[in-house]
Structure 1
Amino acid sequence: MRIGYGFDSHAFKPDVPLVIGGLKIEHHSGLAGHSDGDVLLHAITDALLGAVSAGDIGTFFPPSDQRWKNADSSIFLRTALEEIATAGYEIGNIDTVLILAQPKIVPIAGELREKVAELLCISPRDVGIKAKTPEGLNQDGVAVAHCTVLLRPIAEPDTLKTKTAEADDDIDVDVVVRTLVNGVRDTSALGRKPTFDTDDIT
């Protein structure tokens, strides 16, 4: 098992869309940022990358790079999912906390859970969304997100167990290895997305 922690914050800015957790929310202000300012997806992305010691969002998508100007933050999330799958892990569950004065998150918490779960290719039961107000913190103009993620090793495929048993039964080990290496594996259940090309954000 591996644990990752992510944190992000963005100031509110008038006349820009508000996007949190990949969900567009009706509000008079959005969040300032080089990308779409999705504070929740940024925190989740950093938690995933940190869990496998892969760096952070800035490592992959530096704000100095104009390709990521106003980019959809789900792009960042897909890259993090690819990193954890490549490292041999999948998401067990995530837990998040949003800290902001407005808008109120509780009425849309269920919808947020569904959206985040969809982006992560996991069950909504494995996504925690909580909201707090920044009481006494003088942060009414800021949105903050915290995320903790638990990763577990990707389960050993049944085909691998079968082939290992065959090898133990004195079947040619070279044949077994070639079958495993050349065989097509179904990774749809691992939370992976197609390999992301950082030169193409469309």
Structure 2
Amino acid sequence: MSMRIGHGWDSHAFKAGVPLKIGGLAIDHPEGLAGHSDGDVLLHAITDALLGAVSAGDIGSFFPPGDPRWKDADSAIFLNLALEEIQNAGYRIVNIDTTLVLAAPKIGPISAELREHLADLLGVEPNAVGVKAKTPEGLNVDHVAQAHAVVLLEQVEDPTELKSMTAVIESQRQLEDVVKDLVSQVHGTPERKITIFDTEDIT
């Protein structure tokens, strides 16, 4: 059976007056993460890991810098697109491991909730999701949050086994039209062309 590994990394600076979201969870903290979207550094890293595992580009390939459609967008949109891509490629998630690097807030007290929420978003069991947190000692980046993600995928030989992933995607009805439109652009339709954008991180 074919296996694929993907790695993703992202970072965002903290900013006052912005809600903090990490891994899709709203976290009570004086500052949030600056970004064109909601700045969810963990979902962005996971999204890039998934896309990279099936050689589908990165977030910047699908969500161009400065595009007003993604202003303050929920990063679950980006993750859902990546799930669609790995399903189209005939793969499913075996497990995913992540590391957050930030001085605050403390992730330990919410790590279990975070794992369960990520598992729900990804359509896997919580024991297939790893969430670790480290402090950036000596790196002089206390005002920045970074996230690393590694994902292992396996090829699905029986297409019916992809139904669970389809259910995850279809459960997010508000994202479905956006995802279908983006996928059709990337995979090509005769009447539409996709512009190649700079893949500078804008999310």
Band of TM-score, shorter chain: 0.7 to 0.9
Q: Once the 2 structures are TM-superposed, how far is the Cα of residue 106 of structure 1 from its aligned partner?
A: 0.7
Give the alignment's TM-score, normalised by structure 2: 0.81
Q: Which residue identity is paired with 1:22?
A: G
Residue of structure 1 in register with 2:165 after alignment: 190
Identify the range of structure 1 (95-104 vs 62-71) with the bigger mean alpha-carbon deviation: 62-71
Percent identity reads 66
Residue of structure 1 in register with 2:189 after alignment: none
How many pairs were matched up? 174
Q: Once the 2 structures are TM-superposed, how far is the Cα of residue 197 of structure 1 from its aligned partner?
A: 2.9
C-alpha distance in structure 1 between counterparts of 2:70 and 2:157, whole Å: 34
Q: Which residue identity is paired with 1:198?
A: V
Give the alignment's TM-score, normalised by structure 1: 0.82
* Residues 1-202 of structure 1 mapped to structure 2, 5 A cutoff: 1-156=3-158, 187-190=162-165, 193-194=169-170, 196-198=176-178
Q: Once the 2 structures are TM-superposed, how far is the Cα of residue 63 of structure 1 from its aligned partner?
A: 2.3
Show CA shifts across 1:100-121 (max 9, x none): 0000001110010011001001
Show CA shifts across 1:32-81 (max 9, x none): 00000000000000000000000000100112210000000000000000
Residues 156, 162 of structure 2: 8 Å contact kept: no
SS in structure 1 of the partner of residue 147 of structure 2: strand
Q: Which residue identity is paired with 2:165?
A: L
Residue of structure 1 in register with 2:199 after alignment: none
SS in structure 2 of the partner of residue 137 of structure 1: coil
C-alpha distance in structure 1 between counterparts of 2:161 and 2:125, whole Å: 19
Moved over 4 A (4+): none
Q: Once the 2 structures are TM-superposed, how far is the Cα of residue 188 of structure 1 from its aligned partner?
A: 2.9
C-alpha distance in structure 2 between counterparts of 1:83 and 1:106, whole Å: 32
Q: Once the 2 structures are TM-superposed, how far is the Cα of residue 187 of structure 1 from its aligned partner?
A: 4.1
SS in structure 1 of the partner of residue 178 of structure 2: coil
Question: Which is higher, the Rg of structure 1 or of structure 2?
Answer: 1
